[in-house]
A and B are shown apart, each in its own frame.
Chain A
Amino acid sequence: MTIREAAESLRRRQISAVELTTAALSRIERSNPTLRAFITVTAERALQQARQADSELAAGKDRGPLHGIPAAVKDLFFTRGVLTTGGSPIYRNFVPDEDAFAVARLQAAGAVMLGKLNMHELAYGITSANPHFGAVANPWNARHSPGGSSGGSGAAVAAGLVYAALGTDTGGSIRIPASFCGTVGLKPTYGRVSRRGVLPLSWSLDHVGPLASSVRDAGLVLNAIAGHDPADASSSRRPVVDFVPDDDCPVRGLRIGFPRNFFFERLESDVELCVRGAIARLEFLGAEVKPVTLPDISALNAVGRMILLCEASAVLEPHLKDRGQFGPDVLALLDQGRLLPATDYIHAQRLRKQMQREFARIWSSVDCLVAPTTPNTAPRIGDATVKLGGIEEDVRLATTRLVRSINLLGLPALSIPCGLSGGGLPVGLQIIGPPFEEALILRVGAALEDGGVGIPPSPMM
C-alpha cells in the first residue's frame, strides 16, 4: 500500500493510524532480526503518536497526506530524546535535545516515527555492512547488500516496514540503496532541504531526501521537508512548489537526454537492458529522447572525492585519537583525507565551480537526463570488488561511479526501479534535472511508473 492509499483508507475510517502502526511494528519485529534495518525502534512513542493522529482526525484536524503514516529516519538525524548513533560508537550515548529540521517537519505533517534506521558507519560508505550494529540485508536477497549509506532506509521501505524513510546522500547514499532495494529515492537540489540537525559527513556535499515505494509518495515527503531554514547557511530561499505529480503527467515534448559517454560504459548487461527499456518507454510516451555528450564525469568524480575526503576528515578528526572506534574501511578514508593539503581542497572547490558552469550548458539542449543509477545490481554482503566489463573494480568506487558527480553539482536526481536482473535483483534508473527542478524529474518518474515501468513488491513485503 502506498502513502496515498493508506491516507485514503484513514480518511474513510477503513483503518486507523494505530492499526497501521501496530502492523508496521509487527513486521519490524518479524523482519528486523534478518534485515537489521533498525538500530532503535520507538514502539511506545510511535503508538502514542498514532493515537494522537487518530484523535486529531476524529476531531476534524487533518495535517495532510502524511497524517498517521508510519515512517522512520536514518540514525544520523537528530531526534529529541531518542538515541542518535550515526552508526558509530562515537555517538553511542548521544541523545539530542532537539529534532532535525526535516524530522520536525515530518512530525508536524503528522507522520508516526517508528525509530532510527541502520546505515553505513558514519554514512561513509555504500555497503551498510555496519561493524557495530550489524550488516543490513537486502529484502530481495538477504545475502546481498542493500547499498548505502542509507541502507536501513532502503531495506525498511522495500520490506514494507515503513511507508517512507529519510536518508542522506553525500555521494549517492540515497540513490544507491534505492537502486539496490528497488525503491524510489530522491536526492533534492543542494539547499532544497535543510541539513540542520543531521550529523555531517561533508558539509558541501550532504543532501537530505526521501525513500519511498512510489514516486508520488516521495513527492509527498518532499512537500513536507522542503523549504528555507535560516539556520542552515546553504538553505535556499527558492519558493517551494507542490512536488507531487498530477494523476495525468504527460512527458510528450519533453527533451530527455541520455548520455553518450561514461554512463553506459561497463554496466552489468541486465542493468543496461532494463535502463534502455525504460528509455524506450519514455520515447513511446512521446518524449523527445536524444543522445547528449556530457563533460568529463571521471574528472567530476575525482573532484567530488577530493572534497569528500577533506571535509569528512575535518568533521571526524577530533575522534581519530582512538582509531579502534572506526571500522577499517572508514578509517582508511579518514587517513587519506588527513594527508591532503589545504590547497588541494581549495583547488577542488574552484574546479567544482568551473565544472558547474560547463555542465549547466547541457540544460539548453535537454530538460533532464536519464541514466543508470548504479552500473551493477546489489553485490553480496562482504564483496570488496565487482567485475564490470571484464575489469575488477573496488565495490565503493564502482557503485558510486554514476551518482557521485551529481552531488558535486548539487543537482536533483531521482532513482526509480526499472526492472529486475536475471538473478532477481532490482535495477535503478536515474533521472537528473537542472537545479530546483525536482517537480520535473518526479513528473518523468511518475510517467514511467504510470506507463508500467517498475518491479513487483519485494519477497519480504
Chain B
Amino acid sequence: MKDWAAIAKASGLDIPAKDLSRASQALNGLDEVFRPLAAGLTPDMEPAATFSADQEQA
C-alpha cells in the first residue's frame, strides 16, 4: 500500500488528517485493482489522447 500521507506532504497538499485518512482508504481499494492492470501494459499502447493537430489549426 502506498503512503498517501507522505505523498500529500511531498506534494505540498494541505489535506486535514481526518480527510486524508478517508482518501487513503478509498485509494487503497482502487489501487488494488488498478496496479495489476497498469503493470500489464506494453509500451506500444499509447494513451487515448484527444489532441489533434488538425483541430488546433481549424
Mark A residues whose CB is within 8 Å of B: 203-204, 230, 233-234, 298-299, 302-303, 305-306, 309, 331-332, 335-336, 338-341, 344, 346-354, 356
Contact = CB atoms under 8 A, between A and B. Distances in A.
A120 to B, nearest CB: 18
A398 to B, nearest CB: 14
Most interface-central of A305, A332, A335, A340 (chain B CB within 10 A): A335
Nearest to B33: A302
Nearest to A346: B47
Given A306-B30, A306-B34, A339-B13, 8 more contacts: A233-B52, A299-B37, A303-B34, A335-B15, A349-B49, A350-B48, A352-B48, A353-B47
Interface in B9-38: 11, 13, 15, 19-20, 22-23, 26-27, 30, 33-34, 37-38
12 contacts: A230-B55, A303-B34, A335-B22, A336-B30, A338-B13, A339-B13, A344-B34, A347-B38, A349-B48, A351-B41, A353-B48, A354-B45
Given A230-B58, A340-B27, A351 B50 contact: no
A348 B46 CA distance: 10
Interface residues of B, number: 28
Contacts, number: 81
B7 interface: yes
A240 to B, nearest CB: 19
Which 6 residue pairs are nearest across A and B when measured between Cβ atoms? A349-B47, A347-B38, A302-B33, A335-B23, A353-B48, A352-B48
B37 A303 contact: yes
Given A302-B37, A335-B15, A353 B46 contact: yes
Interface of B: 4, 7-8, 11, 13, 15, 19-20, 22-23, 26-27, 30, 33-34, 37-38, 41, 45-52, 55, 58
Decide if the interface of chain A is mainly helix, strand, loop or mixed: helix
A359 to B, nearest CB: 13
Contact of B26 (A203, A303, A332): A332
Nearest to A347: B38
Nearest to A321: B14
Contact of B34 (A348, A349, A354): A348
A246 B34 CA distance: 44
A309 B23 CA distance: 11
Contact of A350 (B27, B46, B51, B52): B46
A133 to B, nearest CB: 24
Nearest to B43: A350
A298 B45 CA distance: 20
B47 A332 contact: no
A341 B38 CA distance: 13
Contacts of A346: 47
Nearest to B22: A332
